[in-house]
Amino acid sequence: MSVLRVHHLNGATLCPRVPARLLGQQGSARLVCHCLVLETARDGLIVVDTGFGTADVEEPGRLPGGFRALTGARLRREETLLAQLESLGHRAADVRHVVVTHLDLDHAGGLGDFPRAAVHLHERELQVATAQATVRDRLRYRAVQWAHGPDWHTYAETGDTWRGLPAIRKLRGVDAEVALLPMHGHSRGHSAVLVGHAGQWLVHAGDAYFHRGAVSEPPVVPLGLRLFEAQVRDDKRAWRASVTALRELRAAHRDLAMFCAHDPAEFEAMAQPAN
Ligand SMILES: [Zn+2]
């Protein structure tokens, strides 16, 4: 088995100033940025999504003020993946690959902490993020987060499938079972990331949905997250098709553990015990 160990780490905390019940929560409203660090036999460390990075913490102005105010982004050095990896005894140079669901600012912030890693993603996501064609794109995609010039590796659907869905099963230079499952809609080149480990598939759905109720049967999503989702998604029809595909996958297969980026209950269920 080429993925030896999976760490579920929270790469950023968001505390939106809204009543918790609007997010289906109690107490104070809180969202996480669920990231993975994979210890592998042959590929060093592989990171899936990166939360905010050290430079975001040191220079909050890299993130738009409106975003910080709306989401209540907590910028803490100890929550960066780099700091958490170091506390696990690893170094930045141990990270040889980063796979990103998409390049929104709360997923790409840590890219600069792993400047020597190959960065794998859907080709359409990189095209749109780097084109910076609209004000909206310039707010969600922060070019400063990849100003160091990552070693990008991009992919498109070429006929390969996983469980009947278009997939990119083989990432360049990666021996471990890590794949992209295109789930466009939230952003134009958004993908879920699949990780084969211990006879099971982890399905990191990124921002394809925001609350676990979206992939339950019947789907039930708290009002605040439905409104937020409608604000930030790029293509409603593609987004709906993605959520439906994920819900059907989850219902049809017992060997999947599915989670999205921002649901704290899903994160806490996966994060303990470490496996
Ligand atoms: Zn996000």
Does 158 have pLDDT greater than 90?
A: yes
Question: What is the chain's mean pLDDT, rounded?
Answer: 96
Largest CA distance in the chain: 47
pLDDT higher than threshold 60 for residue 274: no
| 155-158: long-range contacts, CB 8 A cutoff, minimum separation 24 | 155/120, 155/121, 155/122, 155/123, 155/180, 156/122, 156/123, 156/124, 157/182
For residue 18, report the distance from its CA to the centre of ligand 1, in Å. 17
Distance 104 CA to ligand 1 centre (A): 6
Q: What's the CA-to-centroid distance between 218 and ligand 1, angstroms? A: 24
CATH (residue range 3-271): 3.60.15.10
The closest alpha carbon to 194, from 183, 205, 208, 210, belongs to: 205
DSSP one-letter string for 169-187 = ---TT--SSEEEEE--SSS
Cα(209) to centroid(ligand 1), Å:
10
Query: How far, in Å, is the centroid of ligand 1 from the Cα of 198?
Result: 27
pLDDT at 98: 98
Q: What is the reported pTM?
A: 0.97
Interval between CA 223 and ligand 1 midpoint (Å): 18
pLDDT tens for 181-236 read: 999 999 999 999 999 999 999 999 999 999 999 999 999 999 999 998 998 899 99
For the beta carbon of residue 237, count every other beta carbon within 10 angstroms.
9
Contacts of 89 (CB under 8 A, 6+ apart): none
> Could you tell me which residues are beta bridge partners of residue 168?
180
pLDDT value of residue 1: 61
Q: What is the 220 CA–ligand 1 centroid distance (Å)?
A: 20
CA 208 to ligand 1 centroid distance, Å: 9
Confidence at 273, pLDDT banded by 50, 70, 90? low
* Partners of residue 154 on adjacent β-strands: 121
Rounded Cα distance between 25 and 8, Å, is 21
The CA 1 to ligand 1 mean position distance, Å, reads 30
Least confident of 33-42, 68-77, 264-273: 264-273
206 CA distance to ligand 1 middle (Å): 7
* Phi, psi for residue 42 in degrees, rounded to 5: -125, -10
Expressed in angstroms and rounded, the spacing between residue 62 Cα and the centre of ligand 1 is: 16
What is the distance in A from the centroid of ligand 1 to the CA of 114?
20
Average pLDDT over residues 99-127: 98
How many whole angstroms from 103 Cα to the centroid of ligand 1?
9
82 three-class SS: helix
What pLDDT does residue 232 have?
87
With a cut of 90, say whether residue 275 has pLDDT above it. Answer: no
The rounded distance, in Å, linking the Cα atoms of 225 and 209 is 9
Domain boundaries, the chain: 3-271
Ligand 1 centroid distance, CA of 105 (Å): 8
Count of positions (residues) in the chain: 275
- Could you tell me the distance, in angstroms and rounded to a whole number, from the CA of residue 107 to the centre of ligand 1? 6
Q: Each residue of 190-201: pLDDT tens digit?
A: 999 999 999 999
* pLDDT tens for each residue of 233-262: 999 999 999 999 999 999 999 999 999 999
The Å distance, Cα 116 to ligand 1 centre, comes to 24
Tens digits of per-residue pLDDT, 41-60? 999 999 999 999 999 999 99
